[in-house]
Amino acid sequence: MEFRYTEDGTPTLFHPGYGEAYHPRQGALLQARRLYLEKTRTHLHPAPRVLEVGLGLMVNFRVALESALARGVFLRYLAVEKEPLPREVMAAIRLPLPLGERVFGEILKAWPEERFAGPWGELKVVFGDIREAALPTLWATAVFLDPFSPQKNPEAWEEEVLKKLRLASRRGAVLATYSA
């Protein structure tokens, strides 16, 4: 894996197996805030429940966590990750999120556990293929569909996966993704 910096100054990684970076060149933080947090209205939700496919470097989680902490709301976050990164790699990706990074540091101490909880909320991680993951029904207020591209990781974009994500979503939930 190769570290790279995006245009907003935040670091990302290039995955040689997929031939893609974890984030767009415009910026990891920019994408997490504008596309995932704001487009799904997670930054406004009084009790956000986020379902993410492709946890990666946990940038989307950390941005959602920062928002929840700043607003004093409890965050519930369920992520499905097929290829979890080692603790050392994730620790090298620091973000300018003062509230969220403190919690992230605590999470890293126990990584790769499957459940983390505190006064800030809860993070559950399902390690495995989204096609095989058991998801709760009518649970998510937002879905962050953020695996590698359909060309490089087609199984994460299959129709059955999209149906599964729909069944896991509450009425009014919004799905956001960087790819069409």
Reported pTM: 0.95
Residue in the block written with tokens 């995006």: 6
CATH 3.40.50.150 for domain 27-177, yes or no, is: yes
DSSP character string of 120-165:
TEEEEEEES-TTT----TT-EEEEEE-SS-TTT-GGGG-HHHHHHH
User: Per-residue pLDDT tens for 5-55?
Assistant: 888 888 898 999 888 888 888 888 999 999 999 999 999 999 999 999 999
In the chain, what are the domain boundaries? 27-177
User: Per-residue pLDDT tens for 101-133?
Assistant: 999 999 999 999 999 999 999 999 999 999 999
